[in-house]
Amino acid sequence: MEINIPEIVAEVTAAFMAYEKALLANDVDMIDELFWEDEKTLRYGPNGTVVSHEALSAFRRSRDISPWVRTLKDTHIVTFGRDFAVANTESTRPNADGISRQSQTWVRIPEGWRIVSAHVSDQP
């Protein structure tokens, strides 16, 4: 298995940055699109565990989050072959204490790269 094929890293990086853009703009439709539409989709986070694409979409749509700003740091994307990748990053927000961490598991499906599992944590 090839690790970090340059064009695959570029594809996943583009998908990762599309997610980041959607997250900061609170573009729930794009966030929905970038998550695997399946009952096994999973997100762990400070707000609890969310299982299924339907539940994740409902969670996102129930939140009133205006667009916000954060700075990514120490982002690592590793691809395994042509259809599987992990992305990990840390972020900080202006006037906020602590560091947030996020990990995502990306899989290429017929519709394109999708997040199948994610984890978000905050450290004060």
Q: What is the pLDDT of residues 15-52, one digit of tens each?
A: 999 999 999 999 999 999 999 999 999 999 988 999 99
pLDDT band at 123 (very low <50, low <70, confident <90, very high): confident
**pTM of the full structure:** 0.94
Q: What is the pLDDT of residue 63?
A: 83
CATH code for the structural domain at 6-123: 3.10.450.50
Structure tokens at 55: 């539940």
Higher pLDDT, 77 or 96: 77
Distance separating alpha carbons of residues 119 and 14, to the nearest angstrom: 19
| Residue 24 to residues 44, 46, 67, 70, Cα–Cα distance (Å) | 19, 18, 5, 8
Q: What is the pLDDT of residues 81-115, one digit of tens each?
A: 999 999 999 999 998 889 999 999 999 999 999 99
Q: Flag whether pLDDT at 5 surpasses 80.
A: yes
Distance separating alpha carbons of residues 30 and 90, to the nearest angstrom: 22
